[in-house]
Amino acid sequence: MLDKRGQGVGTELLTRVIEALSQNPKIRNIFLDVAKDNKVAIEFYKKLGFEKAGELKNIFTKDGVLMDIETYSLLK
Ligand SMILES: CC(C)(COP(=O)(O)OP(=O)(O)OC[C@H]1O[C@@H](n2cnc3c(N)ncnc32)[C@H](O)[C@@H]1OP(=O)(O)O)[C@@H](O)C(=O)NCCC(=O)NCCS
């Protein structure tokens, strides 16, 4: 669905997920992993308040090349 990107759908969906999870007082932290080279997604998460929490190197391969991931978290 490339043609749907950049129209606010991702922001709307993830905002709703964050709001729903925020209703649960037991949930203190929402975290996610993202490929380090996925700059669009990283910017997307940062705009929703996620902050970098860590990084792991050589976790998976893309086109035969080892890739790093970054972990982002949103503390409640
Ligand atoms: C990351 C993704 C979920 C964002 O969803 P989306 O509906 O396109 O996002 P939005 O329209 O709400 O845009 C939110 C922000 O994402 C970034 N963004 C979205 N599309 C972009 C594009 N084509 N180029 C650069 N930045 C882009 C921008 O920072 C944007 O903020 P802005 O509107 O203030 O510029 C979507 O691009 C996607 O599905 N990507 C492919 C799969 C992927 O990478 N998933 C994440 C795996 S961890």
Q: Is the CB of 1 under 6 A from ligand 1?
A: no
Please give the distance, rounded to the nearest whole angstrom, from the Cα atom of residue 45 to the centre of ligand 1: 9
Decide if 25 is inside a domain.
Answer: no
Decide if 35 is inside a domain.
Answer: yes
Tally of domains within the chain: 1
Decide if 24 is inside a domain.
Answer: no
Judge if pTM exceeds 0.75.
yes
Closest residue (by CA) to atom 30 of ligand 1?
44
Q: Which domain holds residue 42?
A: 30-76
Decide if 60 is inside a domain.
Answer: yes
Q: Read off the pLDDT of residues 33-70 as tens digits, 9 standing for 90 and up.
A: 999 999 999 999 999 999 999 999 999 999 999 999 99
- For the CA of 7, the closest atom of ligand 1 is 11
Distance, in Å, from the CA atom of 27 to the CA atom of 40, rounded to the nearest integer, reads: 27
Long-range residue pairs from 15-23, CB within 8 A, at least 24 positions apart, any chain: 15/48, 18/48, 18/49, 18/74, 21/76, 22/76
